[in-house]
Amino acid sequence: MIDSIDPRIVLIKHRFSDIKTIIPIMSSKGGTGKSIISAVLAYTFTKMGFEVGLLDLDITNPSLHVVLGVDIEKTKPIEEKGVIPPRINNLSFMSIEYYFMENPTPLRGSEISNAIKELLAITIWNKKDIVFIDTPPGLSDEVLDIIELIPRIKPIVIAIDDPMTMKATNKLITMLKSMNIEILGLLENMAYRLEPSTYIKKLCDIHGIEFLGLIPYVKEIRSYIGNIDELYNILKPYIDGIAKNIMRLIEVSR
Amino acid sequence: MHEWALAEAITKTIESIAVEKNVNKIKRITIVLGELQNIDREIFEYALNELMKDLSTRKSIVVENIVIRDEKAELRCLRCGKHWKLDDVVLEDYMREAIHFIPEAIHSFTECPFCKSKDIEIVKGRGVYIEAIEF
C-alpha cells in the first residue's frame, strides 16, 4: 500500500515532453532585469520563426504581463482538458496572475510550491521550440521547485557588475552546478561599457560557463515597458547577438 | 474540462507506479477531492473512467475499485491562530472560478474573518490527491 501521493508530479513531466528547450532566466538579486530579458528574448525567438512559450513563475510578484502590456482581467487561458496559454505577440504566455488578478497574494513556502505545481500541471504547452521561464530572485521555493519539477532545464544567469550581485551570482552558479544543472550561459545586464566586465568574464572562466553577451544600461527603457515591440527595437542591437549565441548552444531547429 | 487534467494526473501517476512496481492489477485507489477546488464530480468521474479505459487498453493496467471521497476545506490564520470553513467565506463567481484552477487564489480574495490578517493558510480540503493505493 502507498499513502498520500501528489498526482501532479508525474503529469508535470509529461506537460514538458513536447518542448525542445526550457530556459529559466535566473538571478540571485532582484532588479537585474530578468523579466524584461525573459520577455524580449522570447519575443526575439518568435521573430526568428520559432514557436515560443513564456512562463512567469514569480508567484507572489509576477510582472511579465506588465512588460507585455497584457490586460489580465480580460485575457484568460482557454480551458480544454487543462488550460492553453493565450497568444500574446505570437508568444504563448502563461502566468499565475490570470488567477490572482493583481491582488496581493501572500504565500508561505509550501503554498508557493502548491501554486507552482498546479500551474505546471494544468498548463498545456503543446509543441514548442523553447519555453522561457521568468523566476523570482534568490535561492528560494520557486527556483528550487523549477529545478525539482521541470525536466531538462538550461538556465541563463543574469548578472550585474556590482560587488553585491557578483557574490550572490557566484552562489547561484555554485548551487546550480552542485545540483548538476547545465547552465546555458551568463548574460551581463545594465553594463556600464560595451565590453564585458572583468569580474563577470572571470566568473565565467572560473565556472567554465559561456558568456552570452551584454546589454548596456538603457536609461529610457522604463518608458517602453508594456510595449514588447518597442522594447525589442531598443534592445535589438544587443539581444539579436545574444539570441544567436543561445541558438548555437541549444541547436534548436524549426 | 479542467477536471480532465486532474483525472489525467491520477491516471498518469497510476501508470507510472504500476510500471515501476511491475504490476498490472491494482486492488483499490482512494482519491480525495478537496472542497476548495470545487471539482465537478460528474465530469471528473467521466474523464477518469475514459482515461482508465485507455490505460487498460494501452498497458493492460487495471484498477479494480476506485473510491472518491470529498474533504471539507478548512483555513487557519497564522497570526491569531483561529480556524474557519469555506462556508464562512463570501466569494463571487469569478473568484470561485480562479480558485477552481489554482486553489491558492483564495489568498487573493480573502483574509482572516477574525483579525483581518492576509497571513492565512489552507489546512485541508485544498485539491485533488491520491490518499492510498492498495495492491
Report the pLDDT averaged over residues B109-123. Answer: 97
Interface membership of B123 toward A (CB under 8 Å): no
- H-helix segments, A48-85: 64-68
- pLDDT at residue A107 tops 70: yes
Yes or no: say if B28 and B134 are a contact pair by the CB < 8 Å rule.
Answer: yes
Q: Count of domains in chain A?
A: 1
In which band, very low, low, confident or very high, does the pLDDT at B1 lie, cut at 50, 70 and 90?
low
- How many CA atoms, within 13 angstroms, populate the side-chain half-sphere of residue B52? 16
Instruction: Spell out which residues of chain B touch residue A14, defining contact as CB-CB under 8 Å.
Output: 12
Q: Can you tell me which residue has the cell 564585458?
A: A196
Q: What angle separates helix A8-15 from helix A109-122, to the nearest 10 degrees?
A: 50
Complete domains list, chain B, with CATH: 2-134 (3.30.2320.80)
Buried residues in A143-176 as b, exposed as e (16+ CB within 10 A): bbbbbebbeebbbbbbbbbeeebbebbbebbeeb
Domain membership of residue A253 (yes or no) is no
pLDDT number for residue A163:
87
Instruction: Spell out which residues of chain A touch residue B15, defining contact as CB-CB under 8 Å.
Output: 10
CATH number, domain containing residue A23:
3.40.50.300
Coil, strand or helix at A5: strand
Residue whose C-alpha is closest to residue A54's, from A36, A73, A33, A72: A36
pLDDT digits 0-9 by tens, B60-100: 999 999 999 999 999 999 999 999 999 999 999 999 999 99
Distances (CA, A) of A122 to A32, A96, A142, A198, B46: 30, 11, 17, 44, 18
Across the interface, which of A1, A104, A124 has its CB nearest the CB of B118?
Answer: A104
Q: Return d(Cα B25, Cα B70) in angstroms, integer.
A: 25
Domain membership of residue A28 (yes or no) is yes
pLDDT number for residue A218:
94
Share of chain A above pLDDT 70, in %: 99
pLDDT number for residue A97:
97
- Bridge partners (DSSP) of residue A119 are none
Instruction: Spell out which residues of chain A touch residue B12, defining contact as CB-CB under 8 Å.
Output: 7, 10-11, 14
Domain membership of residue A161 (yes or no) is yes
- Domain range for A168 is 8-245
